[in-house]
Amino acid sequence: MVKHKDALMNKQSTSSSNPEIYDIIVVGAGMVGSAIACALAIDKRGEHLRIAVVEASDKPATYNSEAYDPRVVALTQASRKLLHSLHAWDTIVLQRACPYTDMHVWDAEGTGSIHFDCLEVQQNQLGYIVENSLIASTLAQRMQNLQQIDLLCSARVSSFRKDGDSNPSLILEDGRELQASMIIAADGANSKLRELVNFRTREWDYGHNAIVTTVKTEQVHQHTAWQRFMETGPLAFLPLEDELMDYETGCHHSSIVWSCKPELADELMALDDEAFAKRLGEAFEHKLGNIEEVAKRFSFPLRQRHAVDYVKPGIALVGDAAHTIHPLAGQGVNLGFLDVTALRDEILRACERRIPLNDESILRRYQRNRKINNLGVMAAMEGFKRLFGTRNIGVRWARNEGMRKVDSVNTLKNIIVKQAMGL
Ligand SMILES: Cc1cc2nc3c(=O)[nH]c(=O)nc-3n(C[C@H](O)[C@H](O)[C@H](O)COP(=O)(O)OP(=O)(O)OC[C@H]3O[C@@H](n4cnc5c(N)ncnc54)[C@H](O)[C@@H]3O)c2cc1C
């Protein structure tokens, strides 16, 4: 394969009658799109593949370690394994990743609570909290070092074309046309490609906004992920590694996700930092003492969305383009990374068996593997949201009883925690 990487990145337009030919085009260089591109290029079986990654932003993702990114994810062991296989994990850990050893979940309306401890499942940690921009920028660096990948920034898709049995192609806003045997849409929750190809979705508002920010607490976070379920929605404190961690003073920073009804979110967003810190401390029952500092806050509406199909001839949806889910169990990108692993395995298996990449069985197998699993997790999250959002006294009693039971039966607790860890 002949490479003209620099020439390609700088090229502004190509006649649409003369498409650039690739084996695979990935749209979206977020965490999921970058991961699938790297996962294919890094494997021996995929080393002949020519991959284009089309990204709307004007430059590859960057990371600023001087401040915390307000968007973080709780990565499962399965996600960590994937990032490790992409040679990205060591770079991430060297920069900033906070292992959490315990998880404490409790009901604001009663005495029910569950405590998960990594030692109970013979692990050194339950997972890691990592900033989104650190993951995306590390994968962007990997992509730039992988010969087979052309990362095309400032590139927006304007239309999708597929005539009969021909390979699909994309027309970019600047007029360039790219053609490939397979297109992977990883362009996030509001996927333009999903819309252009008329994928149907089932979606509804959760009736929640999520407020995210970074806070400094009076007491150390104990490398614990905390979640308090309130009738108005869950509040999570996710531990962050302090910049200059002092073993005597310990770590005091956490990323918070406060999901609540939009009216309450608007009210909380309108408060000044001091008043917000006071409300947050109260909502969190001062588990870590007073909230001493609050960074800039952001509020996102939460919407559940699930594509009815993940694949059509020549194209597959992955990550948030296929499914978006309530952040209460921190599973969004973890499901996206499971999509990556499943699609990677199908594509590489096809390469090994010399099956052409436009063979429809590849994508059908991917869909069969992932859709049922994602549906199950999404249904569970919806169930949790409803269970904790009810005013019904009987349900509240049963909920607290249930939490106490789960907490006291180790085998049951271990099954739940292993599932959540992606083990
Ligand atoms: C408050 C909150 C907390 C969360 N916490 C967790 C957690 O703890 N654990 C967890 O697993 N998940 C969590 N999630 C979910 C997680 O953040 C998402 O699942 C994840 O970011 C999705 O990654 P993605 O790569 O699929 O999409 P995105 O991150 O949205 O990336 C899409 C990429 O596509 C590009 N793009 C968009 N449109 C175009 C176009 N037309 N052409 C070219 N490029 C385009 C974008 O610029 C972007 O780079 C949380 C979400 C929220 C809102």
Task: Specify whether 83 is located in the same domain as 108.
Answer: yes
Q: Are 286 and 170 in a shared domain?
A: no
Same domain? 296 vs 212: yes
Nearest atom (ligand 1) to Cα of 155: 43
Residue bearing tokens 């509001």: 190
- Count of all residues that appear for the chain in the document: 423
Separation of 30 CA from ligand 1 center, angstroms?
6
Residues within 6 Å of ligand 1 by CB: 27-33, 54-57, 73-74, 132, 156-157, 186-189, 192, 210, 212, 257, 300, 319-320, 327, 330-334, 336
Ligand 1 atom nearest residue 320's Cα: 26
**What are the two backbone dihedrals, phi and then psi, of residue 91, each rounded to the nearest 5 degrees?**
-65, -40
Per-residue pLDDT of the chain (423 residues; tens, 9 = 90+): 333 344 344 334 444 468 999 999 999 999 999 999 999 999 999 999 999 999 999 999 999 999 999 999 999 999 999 999 999 999 999 999 999 999 898 887 776 788 888 888 888 999 999 999 999 999 999 999 999 999 999 999 999 999 988 999 999 999 999 999 999 999 999 999 999 999 999 988 878 899 999 999 999 999 999 999 888 889 999 999 986 555 556 799 999 999 999 999 999 999 999 999 999 999 999 999 999 999 999 999 998 899 999 999 999 999 999 999 888 777 889 999 999 999 999 999 999 999 999 999 999 999 999 998 888 777 766 666 666 666 666 666 666 666 666 666 666 666 666 666 666
Whether 227 and 273 map to the same domain: the answer is yes
Q: Which phi and psi angles does 200 have, rounded to 5°?
A: -80, 150
* Cα angle, residue 334 at apex, residues 286 and 158 outer, rounded to 5°: 115
Ligand 1, pocket-test mutation among 25, 26, 31, 343, most atoms within 8 A of CB: 31
295 and 322 inside one domain? no
Instruction: Give the strands of the sheet with 98-100, arranged side by side.
Output: 72-75, 127-131, 98-100
Q: Residue 270 corresponds to which tokens in the numbers above?
A: 């309108």
Question: For residue 74, which amino acid is it?
Answer: A
- DSSP character for 329? G
Residue with tokens 């499901």: 335
Secondary structure, 3-state, 103-143: EEEEECCCCCEEEEEHHHHCCCCCEEEEEHHHHHHHHHHHH
Residue 247 is predicted with a pLDDT of 55
Work out whether strand 113-117 and strand 291-294 pair parallel, antiparallel, or are unpaired.
unpaired
Six-digit token pair at 276?
């917000």
CA 279 to chain centre: 28
Neighbours of 249 (CB within 10 A): 10
Radius of gyration of the CA atoms of the chain, in A:
22
CATH number for the domain harbouring residue 277: 3.30.9.10
Confidence at residue 404, expressed as pLDDT on a 0 to 100 scale: 64
Whether 247 and 269 map to the same domain: the answer is: yes
Please tell me whether residues 295 and 363 are part of one structural domain: no
Pocket test for ligand 1, best of 73, 82, 192 (most atoms within 8 A of CB): 73
Residue 422 DSSP symbol: T
State the pLDDT at residue 376: 76
Quote the DSSP letter at residue 321: G
Strands 20-27 and 51-54: parallel
- Residue 269 DSSP SS3: helix
320 Cα to the center of ligand 1, angstroms: 6
Residue 5 is predicted with a pLDDT of: 44
Distance from the alpha carbon of residue 354 to the mean position of ligand 1, in angstroms: 33
Residue-number span of the structural domain to which 58 is assigned: 5-63+134-203+305-382
Cα separation, 25 vs 36, whole angstroms = 11
Same domain, 388 and 333: no
Distance 321 CA to ligand 1 centre (A): 9
- Kindly state whether residues 42 and 26 are assigned to the same domain: yes
Tokens 């008329």, residue located: 198
Tell me the one-letter amino acid at 409.
V
In angstroms, the CA 270 to CA 253 distance is 23
Count of beta carbons in the 10 Å neighbourhood of residue 98:
25
Same domain as 148, residue 53: yes
Total structural domains in the chain?
A: 2
Residue 151 to residue 52: CA distance in whole angstroms:
6
What per-residue confidence (pLDDT) applies to 123? 86
Ligand 1 centroid from CA 345, angstroms: 22
391 and 372 co-located in one domain: no
Are 364 and 323 found together in one domain?
yes
Provide the token pair at 327: 């952040």
